[in-house]
Amino acid sequence: MTDPGQMLLALDFDGTLAPIVEDPESAYIHPTSLAALRRLGPVLGAIVIITGRPVDQVRRLGRFEEGPGLEHLVVFGQYGAERWDAATGQVRRPTRPQGVSDLAECLPAWLEEHGASRIRVEDKGLAIALHTRGVAPGLLDELRPQIEALAEEVGLHVEPGRQVMELRASGSDKGQALRHAIEPTQPHVVMYAGDDLGDLPAFEEGLALRADGVDVTLVCSASAEQDALVPLADVVLDGPDAVATWLSELADSLVPV
Site residues (CB under 6 A) for ligand L263DTV3? Answer: 12-15, 20-22, 24, 27, 51-53, 122, 124, 129, 131, 133, 161-164, 166, 196, 198
**In this complex, which beta carbon is closest to ligand L263DTV3, that of residue 13 or of residue 203?**
13
Q: Are 240 and 14 in contact (CB under 8 A)?
A: no
**3 state DSSP class of 214:** coil
**3 state DSSP class of 45:** coil
**In this complex, which beta carbon is closest to ligand L263DTV3, that of residue 33 or of residue 163?**
163
Minimum distance between the CB of residue 185 and ligand L263DTV3, rounded to whole angstroms? 22
Q: Is residue 37 within a helix (H) or strand (E), and if so which, with residue range?
A: helix 31-40
**In this complex, which beta carbon is closest to ligand L263DTV3, that of residue 45 or of residue 201?**
201
**In this complex, which beta carbon is closest to ligand L263DTV3, that of residue 41 or of residue 198?**
198
Alpha-carbon gap, residue 183 to 240, rounded angstroms: 28
Type of residue found at 77? G
Minimum distance between the CB of residue 2 and ligand L263DTV3, rounded to whole angstroms? 27
* Cα-based distances in Å from 76 to 10, 95, 219, 251: 10, 16, 18, 23
Q: Cα torsion at 63, 69, 73, 75 (round to 10°)?
A: -10
**In this complex, which beta carbon is closest to ligand L263DTV3, that of residue 4 or of residue 97?**
97
Q: Which residue of this chain has its Cβ atom nearest to ligand L263DTV3 in the complex?
A: 52
* Cα-based distances in Å from 183 to 6, 41, 186: 13, 18, 6
Minimum distance between the CB of residue 151 and ligand L263DTV3, rounded to whole angstroms? 15
Q: Are 159 and 182 in contact (CB under 8 A)?
A: no
**In this complex, which beta carbon is closest to ligand L263DTV3, that of residue 24 or of residue 45?**
24
